Amino acid sequence: MSLGVTLTESPALDSSATYIRRIAHMKDFSSPTLVMVLALMSFCLCAAGLTALALLAQPRVFIDFENHYGWSYLLWNIWSAAMSIGIACFGANAYATLRALQW
């Protein structure tokens, strides 16, 4: 689902790409293209990191909380939802940055 949200074409994507391009050209950097490439790499690494975290076991705090209070179903759903939202957000920003580079 996160991949679908990330790759969705929308006016918000074009707006984000425009802002990214504008900000990269606004500052006195040596190369605005290099700034956008570094941002693209950062967004991709963050999305990949969150994907790895989502596939790994949940934190020990959740297991301890479950043993003490018994709300395991709620914590597992919150963990999955938070990771999915993070992946979608970083992925959408990476796609917008890629779009800004292509213009």
Answer yes or no: are the C-beta atoms of 84 and 2 closer than 8 Å: yes
pLDDT digits (tens, 9 = 90+) for 43-86: 999 999 998 988 887 777 777 777 777 766 777 788 888 888 99
Stronger pLDDT, 95 or 57, i.e. the higher one: 95
Q: How far is CA 7 from the centre of its chain?
A: 12
**Average pLDDT rounded to a whole number, residues 11-35:** 87
**Average pLDDT rounded to a whole number, residues 39-44:** 96
In the three-class reduction of DSSP (H, G, I as helix; E, B as strand; rest coil), residue 7 is classed as coil
In the three-class reduction of DSSP (H, G, I as helix; E, B as strand; rest coil), residue 27 is classed as coil
Q: What angle do CA 54, 59, 65 make, to 5 degrees?
A: 130
Q: Where are the domains of the chain?
A: 2-102
pLDDT at 30: 75
**pTM exceeds 0.85, yes or no:** no
Q: What is the mean pLDDT of the chain?
A: 84
Percentage of the chain lying above the pLDDT 70 cut = 90
Q: Which residue has the tokens 């990214």?
A: 20
Q: Is the pLDDT of residue 11 over 80?
A: yes
Whole-angstrom CA distances from 76 to 6, 55, 70 are 23, 12, 12
Whole-angstrom CA distances from 10 to 16, 21, 46, 81 are 10, 17, 22, 23
